[in-house]
């Protein structure tokens, strides 16, 4: 069981008011919110609020004071204006699948849950865009497009639950972003309610708009620039065909060399995912796919495109794998077999429960050619701390997800996990990488920002945030560290814990 975090979340912006239940302000705000969205659209019972005290990052928790469920942009705007009127902080939440605390309501206040704004407003195949509300589940858009020859390309592994608005907030990735790019490459424009309640449009359905690329800037703001209420997303042609393979290697070094050789040979697979021995064991035990348990690593390789070109591409990949001492290659010859292979990747996290009562997933990035070094470092770290660490990740992007296994009832292990995670992320930076490839900074990695960026860089980011959100009334204390660089984040980690799959 996860221990309740001690109250370590402090008010950073004293100008904002603390909502006290039972106070006249609280009652009055609840009443006005109820008038705005209806009685069924407002929660303020302490038990009901517990559901919203964190997202996929559960190290720190803090329940909001009130949760509202708007159904239109106008309602969001009214809610935000009320929050301004009562001087209380607010933030948006979609499905809560964020993994870095982006939905943690620091300072309490009002949480605006967008899951009732889930309509597809327009699908325009000729002009290759769709307009959707932010609470639309990612996969539902692709499902709605089935049979049209088009799809929405960004596919985080949580796409069955995560929302498009959340994807925009975090600029999320996924297995197929190696070839097709992350969310920002697929957002043409958006509508947002700014932290003062005004409604603004950025970008649009046309290929470009004059002036600064504000919608590009907005994507990945982690909820700190306002609340996205509508998204215009690019639609992508379905590939004519796929080839999906599992390449089994004796060692991680051989597998990573094959990755590097493929990219160097000019082959950009649509997905290139790696699982190491630790995760293979878990997956095999759970699902009996037939993985050899003594293999060092397995690569899931998918190429897509025109049928006429794929066999040649597969031949090149096989040659490269053979040159890198591949033990065997399993090919998916039917859609069912392809689905099975993908199941092994996407359900890998579900299998981890067989290995350990708790786990913590990290999200480091290194240049692709430095994968052997980071994986070696992770292994060393594992030995040094006496912690089991397994790996399943987007190898083609250099985006590693070491999964640190532990028992959260053991305080000593918790401390080890924290320290080992920090060392691994530091190593990613040392190798020329980053501490987050797709999960975001949120509150989890806020103390890394001053190690990645100097004060001038951070000041530039701060000045942009101040344009959108000058009072930090919206999604406060996220992304950027406190202005005094020696000051730690206002959220202290008590212990890491289980993270949702990604």
Partner 1 sequence: MSSTQSDSLEEFIPASQTELSRFMTDNAATSQKQIFPVGGRTSLSVCCASSLSGIQVCTSQLNRVIDYPVRDMTITVEAGMRIDHLNEIVSAEGQRLPVDVPQSNRATLGGIIATNTSGPKRFSYGTIRDYVIGTSAVDGTGNLFKSGGRVVKNVAGYDLKKMLVGSLGSLAIISQVSLNLRPKPETLSMVWFTFDSYQKIDRALEALTTSGTRPTAIEYCNSKAARQIAAESRFELPCENDVICISYEGSNNEVHWQTNKIIEEWKEFSPLSAQIVDSDHATRLYNAFVEYQTSSDDPVTLKAVVLPSQMLKFVEAATELNIAVQAHAADGIVFGHLPDSASSLEDVKHILNRLKKEPSLQTGYLTIYQCESEWAEALPLFCSSPPGWSIMREMKNAFDPHQLLNSRRFAELVET
Build a one-symbol-per-residue string for 369-388: x at contacts with partner 1 by CB under 8 A, - elsewhere.
x-------------------
DSSP 434: B
Task: Kindly tell me the sign of the dihedral angle through the C-alpha atoms of 38, 41, 44, 47.
Answer: positive
Residue ranges in 98-137 that form contacts with partner 1 under rule CB under 8 A: 124-128
Cα gap 441→460, rounded to integer Å: 17
Q: Which one, of 502, 351, 378, lies nearest residue 440 by Cα?
A: 502
CB atoms within 10 A of CB 45: 9
What residues between 248 and 267 interact with partner 1 by CB under 8 A?
A: 260, 263-264, 266-267
Quick one: which of 451, 346, 356 has its CA closest to 413?
A: 356
Q: Count residues contacting partner 1 (CB under 8 A)?
A: 86
Q: Any contact of residue 309 with partner 1 (CB under 8 A)? A: yes
Angle, helices 371-385/411-430, rounded to nearest 10 degrees = 160
User: Judged by CB, which is closer to partner 1: 108, or 223?
Assistant: 223
483 binds partner 1 (CB under 8 A): no
Q: Which of 461, 471, 492, 498 binds partner 1 (CB under 8 A)?
A: 461
Is the distance from CB of 273 to CB of 393 less than 8 angstroms? yes
Instruction: Out of 74, 122, 213, 412, name the contact with partner 1 by CB under 8 A.
Output: 213
Is there a contact between 89 and 474 (Cβ–Cβ < 8 Å)? yes
Minimum distance from CB of 418 to partner 1 (Å)?
Answer: 19
Minimum distance of partner 1 from residue 420's CB (angstroms): 20
Residues 428-447 that bind partner 1 (CB under 8 A): 432-441, 445
Q: N- to C-terminal Cα distance for the chain?
A: 22
Candidates 333, 457, 485, 488; binder of partner 1 (CB under 8 A) is 457
In the complex, minimum distance from the CB of residue 265 to partner 1, in angstroms, rounded to a whole number: 8
Binding status of residue 149 toward partner 1 by CB under 8 A: yes
Between 143 and 148, whose beta carbon lies closer to partner 1? Answer: 148
Query: How far, in Å, are 260, 273, 396 from residue 243 at the CA level?
Result: 20, 14, 16
Residue 261 token pair: 């050789």
- The CA distance from 393 to 361, in Å, is 10
Q: Which residues pair with 328 in a beta bridge?
A: 248
Question: Cβ closer to partner 1: 123 or 286?
Answer: 123
State which of residues 312, 334, 484, 486 lies at the interface with partner 1 (CB under 8 A).
312
Using the rule CB under 8 A, is 319 a contact of partner 1? no
Residue holding tokens 């920090």?
A: 422
| Rounded Cα gap, residues 258 and 66, in angstroms | 52
Contact status: 167 vs partner 1 (CB under 8 A): no
Residue with tokens 């069924």: 40
For partner 1, which is the closer residue by CB, 344 or 399?
399
User: Would you say 45 or 208 has its CB closer to partner 1?
Assistant: 208
Positions 169 through 188 that interact with partner 1 (CB under 8 A): 170-171, 173, 177, 181-182, 184-185
200 touches partner 1 by CB under 8 A: yes
- 203 is a contact residue toward partner 1 (CB under 8 A): yes
- Other CB atoms within a 10 A radius of the CB of residue 6 amount to 9
Q: Which of residues 19-58 bind partner 1 (CB under 8 A)?
A: none
Indicate the residue among 219 and 414 with the shorter CB distance to partner 1.
219
Answer for which of 448, 477, 495, 499 binds partner 1 (CB under 8 A) is 448
Q: Which is nearer to partner 1, 62 or 171 (CB)?
A: 171
Are residues 66 and 111 in contact, defined by beta-carbon separation less than 8 angstroms? yes
How far is the C-alpha of 321 from the C-alpha of 329, rounded, in Å?
9
The yes or no reply on residue 220 touching partner 1 (CB under 8 A) is yes
Residue matched to tokens 């504000």: 214
285 vs 307, which CB is nearer to partner 1?
307
Considering the complex, what minimum distance in angstroms separates the CB of residue 448 from partner 1?
7
Q: What 3-state class would DSSP assign to 114?
A: coil
Q: Which of 87, 177, 72 shows the shortest CA–CA distance to 133?
A: 72
DSSP code of residue 94: S
Which of 54, 449, 491, 497 binds partner 1 (CB under 8 A)? It is 449
Q: Could you say which of 35, 48, 122, 240 contacts partner 1 (CB under 8 A)? A: 240
Rule CB under 8 A: say whether 335 interacts with partner 1. Answer: no
Q: Any contact of residue 211 with partner 1 (CB under 8 A)? A: yes
Complex with partner 1: residue 63 or 217, whichever CB lies closer: 217
Helix ranges, 265-334 (H): 277-287, 307-323
């Amino acid at each position: 069981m996860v221990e309740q975090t001690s109250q370590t979340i402090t008010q950073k912006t004293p100008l904002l008011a603390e909502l006290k239940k039972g106070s006249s302000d609280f009652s009055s705000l609840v009443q006005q919110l109820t008038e705005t969205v209806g009685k069924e659209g407002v929660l303020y019972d302490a038990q009901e609020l517990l559901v919203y005290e964190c997202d996929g990052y559960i190290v720190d928790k803090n329940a909001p004071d009130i949760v509202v469920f708007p159904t239109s942009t106008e309602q969001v705007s009214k809610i935000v204006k009320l929050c301004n009127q009562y001087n209380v902080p607010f933030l948006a939440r979609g499905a809560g699948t964020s993994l870095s605390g982006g939905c943690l309501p620091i300072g309490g206040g009002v949480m605006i849950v967008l899951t009732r704004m889930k309509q597809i407003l327009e699908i325009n195949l000729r002009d290759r865009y769709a307009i959707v509300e932010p609470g639309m589940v990612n996969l539902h858009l692709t499902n709605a497009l089935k049979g049209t020859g088009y799809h929405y390309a960004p596919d985080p592994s949580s796409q069955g639950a995560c929302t498009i608005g959340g994807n925009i907030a975090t600029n999320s990735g996924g297995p197929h972003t190696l070839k097709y790019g992350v969310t920002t490459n697929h957002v043409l424009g958006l509508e947002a309610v700014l932290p003062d309640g005004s409604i603004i449009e950025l970008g649009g359905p046309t290929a470009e708009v004059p002036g600064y690329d504000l919608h590009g800037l907005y994507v990945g703001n982690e909820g700190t620039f306002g609340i996205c209420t509508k998204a215009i997303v690019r639609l992508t042609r379905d590939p004519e065909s796929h080839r999906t393979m599992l390449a089994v290697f004796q060692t991680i070094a051989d597998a990573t060399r094959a990755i590097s050789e493929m990219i160097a040979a000019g082959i950009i697979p649509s997905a290139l995912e790696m699982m190491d021995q630790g995760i293979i064991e878990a997956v095999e035990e759970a699902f009996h796919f037939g993985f050899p348990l003594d293999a060092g690593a397995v690569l899931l390789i998918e190429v897509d495109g025109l049928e006429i070109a794929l066999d040649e591409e597969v031949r090149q990949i096989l040659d490269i794998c053979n040159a890198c001492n591949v033990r065997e290659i399993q090919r998916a010859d039917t859609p069912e077999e392809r689905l099975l292979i993908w199941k092994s990747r996407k359900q890998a996290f579900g299998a981890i429960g067989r290995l350990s009562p708790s786990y913590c997933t990290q999200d480091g990035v290194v240049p692709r050619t430095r994968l052997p070094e980071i994986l070696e470092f992770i292994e060393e770290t594992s030995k040094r701390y006496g912690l089991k660490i397994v790996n399943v990740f987007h190898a083609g992007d250099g985006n590693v997800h070491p999964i640190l296994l532990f028992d959260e009832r053991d305080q000593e292990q918790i401390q080890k996990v924290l320290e080992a995670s920090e060392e691994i992320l530091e190593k990613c930076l040392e190798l020329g990488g980053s501490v987050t490839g797709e999960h975001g900074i949120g509150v989890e990695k806020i103390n890394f920002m001053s190690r990645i960026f100097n004060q001038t860089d951070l000041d530039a980011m701060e000045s942009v945030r101040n344009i959108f959100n000058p009072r930090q009334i919206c999604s406060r204390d996220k992304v950027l560290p406190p202005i005094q660089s020696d000051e730690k984040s206002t959220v202290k980690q008590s212990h890491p814990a289980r993270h949702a799959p990604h």
